[in-house]
Amino acid sequence: MKLQDANLSFVFRPSSDRVLALFLAFLLFGVYLLSFNGRITSSDGLAMFAVTESFVKRGEFSTDQMWTLFGTKSIAAPDAEVYSKYGYGTSLFAVPFYVLALLAPFSGLMQVSLLSSAMATALTGALVFLAARRLNFPANVGVMVALLFGVATPAWVYAKEFWSEPFAAFTLFGAFYFLLCYRDEKNLRAVLFAGILLGLAIAVRTTNVLLVPLYLAYAFLPRDVSWIGNPRLKKDRGGKKGNWRALLFFSAPILFFVVSVFLYNWLRFQNPLTTGYRADEDFSNNIFLGAYGLLFSPGKGLFVYAPLLAALPFGVWQFYKRQKRGLVLILLLATCYLLLFSAWYYWWGGTNWAARFLVPMLPFLVLLCAPLVQLLVETRKTVTFYVLRFTFLVLVLIGFINELAGVAVNSLAYRSRALNLSANADWDTIFVPALSPLVGHWQTLRATNLDVAWLRATRETIQVDWLVVGLTGAFVGLCAWLLIQGLRGKFFSRAWMFGAIGLAVALAIFSLARYADDPRLGGNEGYAELLEMLPGVSRANDVLILNDDAHARSFLNANRSRMKWYGLSRDPARWDSATRDIFSKKLAAYERVWFVFDENVDAPNPMREWVKANLRELERFEFAKEVTLVLYATRQGR
């Protein structure tokens, strides 16, 4: 099974490869539009999205939009505000999408921002293709490897959620790709892009700073290190002006982002070393348990969810013969990620799909599968070859079916079912094969549980937006055809490329406009009327209190008012004396307070009684479903 020397047989063609990468990215983006749900379902994702809203609207970093919930997830800040404990990078990636959403009143703010995850994963797939070509794999092999990453690994599932993983994968692999370019061409622009992306990776997830020495060694350590310890040879080999300039171009943006992380911490917690994680959130887990769980457990194991990674031994062998330096970097990166998160107290990552913390390593690991893919596309007439090809195709098909289950049913929907099947569902869904999400998601599959925006199903009715499905399917088909034509050597003018870009943008806008009133985002017609009126009656220096943070998701998606707002739990037990004291101090800074509630005669509402007793009512608005908006004046505003 000796591979043909790719360096002699295939030529890297930057211009044509970039065109293929563009069509490949649009193909994956179209697939992700088909599986798009338009909702952030995790509290982590909501926290990071809340930072996006606060920053764009008010230049703040708070997550007070779900003040009661988020207040328990991070340590208390000196100013009594609630802040996310996660890096600001994910929130930053969503900023341009959020700004566009504010300018497009026909779409939801959350829904538009969620496209950032899909776009990051699609671009990562394109980078996998470009990296494969840069490593002298044939174009068809590069396309296949990129598609394997995009639709046969958990990356597909995370393309529809607002976790940090899609952005960590994009930035870490992007930095690797541009360092590949730098090592080939000694292009300073490439090394600058690599530094920016690696810096952004640190902003996305602070622990990525541990990987910087590995990237430095990969980029700048010479092939021949015999000069170490020999001053005369060191002067000749290591003191080149170009190397120092490249090192500066690479290091400067990394240093900038590291300093920005310190500044971000100081602005929130008055301590540059405080990220917001609690003292009990540490690296105290049994590392062997974590490693087994992340790699091989039936409920989280990466090799179980993406069995095509069985090709790794052959790929490692071939990379060792052809790309030792790249292989060492990839293996060290994957090992660091595995050891780090195996030791993390919350190693399984909560209710989500597969080994969430290892998702940023997927583009690297799938790239290592390229040698086997190249072998299998060759024409050989031996029994061994056909058995090997058939086995790999079966593994790819299993991976595709696995990820299809993940995008079809949300993890929270299956968790609700698992809680009825096991007294220790969170643990048993990881280690008991019969309760694995790979089985449970298919058992949970029904129209009312389908997690796609183009379908709205209740027990009585099923509505399918066939126009969106048809147009998106046609777009995917067009991109696939363009990709095939490109692989056959067809030349495409710029009109084709700009046309593809225009179609992708138009399709996204059209789809989002159709999804804007999705009832699964929460709220009701009364809240919809309130949110439509609110920007016209509120002032930027007002404050709003949402009496029930169960409706916070609908506010995050449709609230275009720029005033600060707090989402509080309606549970009377959460409205304790400490909460009242903090809130009385906070409201003293405002002259006008808006209070939103809906009538529920069966439940006490001490928060509402406190507001009535301490603030003076100025104006009242009534909406459908007994939703009420009241404007109060504080003592300062009297």
| Domain-wise residue ranges, the chain | 6-275+288-443, 522-633
Name the residue among 638, 543, 482 with its Cα closest to residue 62.
543
Residue 590: DSSP 8-state: -
Angle at which helices 165-185 and 188-204 cross, to 10°? 160
Q: What is the DSSP string of 459-520?
A: SS-EEE-HHHHHHHHHHHHHHHHHHHHHHTT----HHHHHHHHHHHHHHHHHHHHHHTT-GG
How far apart CA 481 and CA 65 sit, in angstroms, is: 45
For residue 49 the two structure tokens come to: 């999205």
Give the helix/strand (H/E) hosting 408. helix 383-408
pLDDT given for residue 240 in this prediction: 55
Rg of the chain in Å (alpha carbons): 26
Identify residue 490 by its one-letter amino acid code: K
For tokens 């622990």, what's the residue? 207
- Residue partners of 605: CB distance under 8 A and separation at least 6: 547, 570, 572, 597
Q: What is the DSSP string of 540-552?
A: TT-EEEES-GGGH
pLDDT given for residue 241 in this prediction: 55
Residue 11: DSSP 8-state: -
Residues (pLDDT < 50) of the chain are 1-12, 224-239, 638
How crowded is the C-beta side of 207, counted as CA atoms within 13 Å? 18
Identify residue 361 by its one-letter amino acid code: M
Residue 605: DSSP 8-state: -
pLDDT given for residue 328 in this prediction: 96
pLDDT given for residue 236 in this prediction: 42
Phi-psi category of 229—alpha, beta or left, where left has phi over 0 and alpha has psi -120 to 50? left
How crowded is the C-beta side of 612, counted as CA atoms within 13 Å? 9
- Render pLDDT for 478-503 as a digit per residue (tens, 0 to 9): 999 999 999 998 888 888 888 999 99
pLDDT given for residue 73 in this prediction: 84
How far apart CA 344 and CA 340 sit, in angstroms, is: 7
